[in-house]
Structure 1
């Protein structure tokens, strides 16, 4: 199956997703209304996303994968940008915490001796 990558996907998004493969969330589409979809994640949570890419034929019941850090949605044979709809302050705090967790730790430099 050939994968189509939407023109809205930036190279840095693909790089982030590739370097953090365990961050993908799997789920099923429970509602699809134009450019907004709701996904029931396998963890039991739900997330509503705004699909930024071209109109994708996403149907209710379709399995999808969402990468919240890279803001990518993998559905059918397309990879496109999808952002959380209706973000709250708590969502922003949670997203910032996830980004900090995924950041590589800095190497501590040893003290220089003269």
Structure 2
């Protein structure tokens, strides 16, 4: 995942996400409200995060909970 665009993430977030590729979780956006979103992961968990990522309901995303990053295609956003 080296050829991506990072938007408002810290350098350490990028390093952690790149150093631990197995930490990514595939998910779908199931709720969007005032900067918070809920993700349903393919593993069956539901995660609530705060992000400024421009997501839409039902959109597939990748989420790295340790790095606190959400990926929409090649774009990465902070997700806390």
Residue 74 of structure 1 corresponds to which residue in structure 2?
71
Count matched residues: 78
Partners of 1:58 and 1:23 lie apart in 2 by 21
Runs of 4+ with >2 A deviation = none
Gaps of 5+ in 1: 84-114
Partners of 1:68 and 1:25 lie apart in 2 by 8
Residue 64 of structure 1 corresponds to which residue in structure 2?
61
Residue 42 of structure 2 corresponds to which residue in structure 1?
42
Residue 29 of structure 1 corresponds to which residue in structure 2?
29
Gaps of 5+ in 2: none
Residue 5 of structure 2 corresponds to which residue in structure 1?
4
For each residue in 1:34-54, what CA deviation from the matched residue of structure 2 results, as whole angstroms up to 9, or x when unmatched? 310000000011000011xxx
Q: Which has the higher strand share?
A: 2
Q: Larger radius of gyration, structure 1 or 2?
A: 1
Which protein has greater RCO, CA pairs closer than 8 Å, 6+ apart? 2
Q: Which has the higher helix share?
A: 1
State TM-score, norm by structure 2.
0.87
Cα distance, 1:30–1:82 mapped onto 2, change above 3 Å: same
Secondary structure of the structure 2 residue equivalent to 1:70:
coil
- What RMSD in Å do the two structures reach over aligned CA positions? 1.5
State TM-score, norm by structure 1.
0.63
